Amino acid sequence: MGKRPSQSGMEQNRPGRTLKAASVLLLPLTGGRSYEGRFLRGLIWIHRRRFLLVMAISAAAAILEGATMGSMALTLEPMTGEVGSIDVSRLGWFGSLVLWFRDSLSLDGYFLAMVGITVLSQFLRCGATLLGKLLAVGLGTRIAADLKIGITHQLLCVSYREVSRYKTGDLALYMQHAQSASSMVDVLCTQLLLVFTLLGYAAIMLLFSWQMTLAVVVMLFFIAGITRYGFRRIKEYSKQNVIAVKRTNESVVEFMSGVRHIHTYGRERYVEAHIGRWIRDGMHSLRRSQSWLGSVPPTLQALLTLGVGVFLVTGYFLMLKGSDASVAKLLGFIAILYRIMPSVTRLNQGHATIVNLWPKLERVATLLRREGKEFLTRGRLPFRELRSEIVLDGVDLSYEPSGKGVLDGLTFTIRRGDTTALVGASGSGKTSTVNLLLRLYDPTGGDILIDGTPLRDLKIEDWRSYIGLVDQEPFIFNDTIRENIRFGRLDASDEEVFEAARAAAANGFIEGMPEGYETIIGERGAGLSGGQKQRIVIARALLRNPGFLILDEATSSLDSETESAVLKAVEKVRGDLTVLAIAHRLSTIRMADHIVVIDRGRVVEEGRHEVLLEGQGVYWSLWEAQQRD
């Protein structure tokens, strides 16, 4: 396993001292001490200043809400003739202000003062809530961007072996999950506001009656116990839905990539049934999770309404029949209860939303987790150019740790300025050798030496910038022909692009396209023939002006005339260029300086074309078979 690159800030950040004071609130709201919970708090820690500002504003909004409800209860005193029935001596400076109003103002003046404080507190609370919401939305969008950048960074930093295990459709889904996971932060900020608000309500209720406050707490724990089962079901069905959507995405991408073969073999019904099965599974799980999610509000409303009835009876006997009787207190308490009802409902709805989104966060967190993943070794030694030779010294390669090796002690030399050809039957290990030279994989045994230095010690960016590759499966971007060729060297001028196209015998068909070099090719080069795509990729490689050119079945899609033109073009620009050519058609490599014949991952013959024919070995057998064909 390669050395891991430095952390990008996704996983190494953990809430520090600043957030420890809020851990009592954050832990239950963010998944506790699970890995996903720590991951979510790590995202928050990156933007801790903004998050702490949201928390401070939420606390201020909660205090103002408490002040609103408290002053509203105080407005009832002059209306019921019970001025002084509510003890405000424990309210600090606010209590002192109320006592001054009671002593200094008339009954009407005291009433108007309390109404003014109530209205002002509510206006300020609305402003604070709006500001907190805007900051929370901004925080969520920043975290969404961080997650998407982090996913891209992770996929580019892990080894090719690691990233090739993911399916294309699944990778596209991760970006959607990142957006959904970031929505949890917005919900979390709303949850914090509601928690602070409920704490403010609790403080006011304690001022009125500790017995009634205790009853409220008991009721809330009772509601939490009932809804907990529903939340488990929501999470279970949401996870099933995420899996079904993942499989649907993968199947659609896979089948659409092979739509030509699907029609050729008449498998439309089979594909429709296969994809339809996953769509139906996703529909059923989504319907179940949404049904449970939708049952939360009415269930809570029913339970809270029942609770209000119990409180009225309890308040009647505790307050109006007790020594501390006060209509103002009871009415104020009922007003707070009706304010609590929607807050508790929203708190539970928010929790249900977090539970519903949690499986998506789990998938993103698992992708970004570094444990158990293989990362590229970037190398530390600079590389400029090949001076002498590339030596494969007893190289072994297995794609899986316990799998069978595809290369077994492979040993041969590629000399600077020579054209070395690698031939062999299908499955002999030719493409695997190219993968090693490109540093897509590292040998599981032996070594690759560049002028005596192990390849894994060279800076990977320097080495890959020295290589030009023409693959047997040319990849074309959904962009103009000009930009597809320029991908080989991003700073190339238009004239250099044209020259590379002429060298690859591509200029003729390009100028015959509707918009020439500005023609949009389409996804995966859908509007081009195999030979045309191959010539564009050859032009891309030639534009790179590489020192080491790898031709992996580079002319397999070309007719003989075009192949000859391309090979002549390569020969013309070759100069000191080192070339490794892999070809199924042996006629294309007969002029190579050195031919290496491999079989089952080992070198069985090597030499020039004429020498190998005289030996009448494996190469001679392959040549004779092709001549007969």
Residue pair 162/399 in contact by the 8 Å Cβ criterion: no
C-alpha dihedral sign at 66, 69, 71, 73? negative
Residue pair 594/607 in contact by the 8 Å Cβ criterion: yes
pLDDT at residue number 447? 93
317's CB contacts (< 8 A; 6+ apart) are none
Crossing angle between the packed helical segments 92-104 and 107-157, to the nearest 10 degrees: 160
pLDDT at residue number 487? 87
Kindly state whether residue 576 falls inside one of the protein's structural domains. no
pLDDT in tens, 451-471: 999 999 999 889 988 988 888
Is the pLDDT confidence value at 437 over 70?
A: yes
611: CATH: 3.40.50.300
33's CB contacts (< 8 A; 6+ apart) are 27
Q: Identify the helix (H) or strand (E) that includes residue 347.
A: helix 327-368
Highest mean pLDDT among 303-307, 315-319, 492-496: 492-496
Per the document, the length of the chain is 629
Kindly state whether residue 566 falls inside one of the protein's structural domains. no
Rounded mean pLDDT of 592-619? 89
Please tell me the distance from the alpha carbon of residue 476 to that of residue 467, in angstroms, as a whole number. 19
Bigger pLDDT: 124 vs 345: 124
Question: Are residues 78 and 134 both part of a single domain?
Answer: yes
Please tell me the distance from the alpha carbon of residue 339 to that of residue 205, in angstroms, as a whole number. 12
Is the pLDDT confidence value at 312 over 60?
A: yes
DSSP secondary structure letter of residue 5: P
pLDDT at residue number 32? 67
Give the rounded percent of residues in the chain with a pLDDT score beyond 90.
9
Other C-beta atoms closer than 10 Å to the C-beta of 406 total 21
270-284, 358-372, 420-434: least confident range = 270-284
Q: Is beta strand 602-607 parallel, antiparallel or unpaired with respect to 445-450?
A: unpaired
Kindly state whether residue 331 falls inside one of the protein's structural domains. yes
Question: Are residues 269 and 311 both part of a single domain?
Answer: yes
Please tell me the distance from the alpha carbon of residue 547 to that of residue 386, in angstroms, as a whole number. 8
Kindly state whether residue 551 falls inside one of the protein's structural domains. no
Please tell me the distance from the alpha carbon of residue 45 to that of residue 37, in angstroms, as a whole number. 12
Residue bearing tokens 């022909």: 481
Residue pair 356/234 in contact by the 8 Å Cβ criterion: yes
Domain limits at 97? Answer: 17-368
Q: Of 216, 220, 199, 205, which is closest to residue 59 (Cα–Cα)?
A: 199
**End residue of a domain, out of 368, 400, 435:** 368
Residue pair 467/386 in contact by the 8 Å Cβ criterion: no
DSSP secondary structure letter of residue 6: P
Is the pLDDT confidence value at 50 over 50?
A: yes
pLDDT at residue number 20? 53
Question: Are residues 398 and 449 both part of a single domain?
Answer: yes
Q: How far apart are the first and last CA of the chain?
A: 45
Question: Are residues 384 and 362 both part of a single domain?
Answer: no
Kindly state whether residue 573 falls inside one of the protein's structural domains. no
Q: Is beta strand 389-397 parallel, antiparallel or unpaired with respect to 445-450?
A: antiparallel
pLDDT at residue number 393? 93
The letter for the amino acid at 232 is R
**Dihedral class, residue 477 (left if φ above 0, else alpha if ψ from -120 to 50, else beta):** beta
pLDDT at residue number 181? 72
Highest mean pLDDT among 142-156, 340-354, 524-538: 142-156
Kindly state whether residue 593 falls inside one of the protein's structural domains. yes
- DSSP string of 190-252, one letter each residue: HHHHHHHHHHHHHHHHHHH-HHHHHHHHHHHHHHHHHHHHHHHHHHHHHHHHHHHHHHHHHHH
203's CB contacts (< 8 A; 6+ apart) are 66
Question: Are residues 214 and 327 both part of a single domain?
Answer: yes
Degrees, nearest 5: CA angle 361-367-368: 90
Q: Is the pTM of this model over 0.75?
A: no
Residue pair 537/469 in contact by the 8 Å Cβ criterion: no
- The chain-wide mean pLDDT, for the chain, equals 78
Question: Are residues 393 and 363 both part of a single domain?
Answer: no
Question: Are residues 359 and 383 both part of a single domain?
Answer: no
pLDDT in tens, 391-407: 999 999 988 766 678 89
Question: Are residues 264 and 178 both part of a single domain?
Answer: yes
Query: Residue 436's pLDDT band (boundaries 50, 70, 90)?
Result: very high
Question: Are residues 108 and 138 both part of a single domain?
Answer: yes
Please give the tally of structural domains in the chain. Answer: 2
Q: What is the CA radius of gyration of the chain?
A: 36
Is the pLDDT confidence value at 323 over 60?
A: no
**End residue of a domain, out of 368, 401, 433:** 368
Please tell me the distance from the alpha carbon of residue 625 to that of residue 426, in angstroms, as a whole number. 14
Kindly state whether residue 248 falls inside one of the protein's structural domains. yes
pLDDT in tens, 438-450: 898 889 899 999 9
Kindly state whether residue 292 falls inside one of the protein's structural domains. yes
Please tell me the distance from the alpha carbon of residue 453 to that of residue 225, in angstroms, as a whole number. 66
Rounded mean pLDDT of 205-222? 74
SS (H, E, C) 389-423: EEEEEEEEECCCCCCCCCEEEEEEEEECCCEEEEE
Query: Residue 11's pLDDT band (boundaries 50, 70, 90)?
Result: very low
Please tell me the distance from the alpha carbon of residue 29 to that of residue 266, in angstroms, as a whole number. 52
331's CB contacts (< 8 A; 6+ apart) are 73, 76, 80
- Residue 618: φ, ψ to 5°: -65, -45
Is the pLDDT confidence value at 10 over 50?
A: no
The letter for the amino acid at 563 is E
Highest mean pLDDT among 86-90, 366-370, 558-562: 366-370
pLDDT at residue number 14? 44
Residue pair 40/46 in contact by the 8 Å Cβ criterion: no
Q: Of 334, 354, 355, 341, which is closest to residue 298 (Cα–Cα)?
A: 341
Is the pLDDT confidence value at 263 over 70?
A: no
Is the pLDDT confidence value at 1 over 60?
A: no
pLDDT at residue number 390? 94
37-51, 252-266, 395-409: least confident range = 252-266
Query: Residue 319's pLDDT band (boundaries 50, 70, 90)?
Result: low
Q: Of 86, 189, 77, 52, which is closest to residue 134 (Cα–Cα)?
A: 189
Is the pLDDT confidence value at 527 over 80?
A: no
pLDDT at residue number 199? 82
The letter for the amino acid at 36 is E
Question: Are residues 359 and 266 both part of a single domain?
Answer: yes
115: CATH: 1.20.1560.10
Rounded mean pLDDT of 198-221? 76
Question: Are residues 195 and 264 both part of a single domain?
Answer: yes
**End residue of a domain, out of 342, 368, 394:** 368
Question: Are residues 341 and 444 both part of a single domain?
Answer: no
Residue pair 381/458 in contact by the 8 Å Cβ criterion: yes
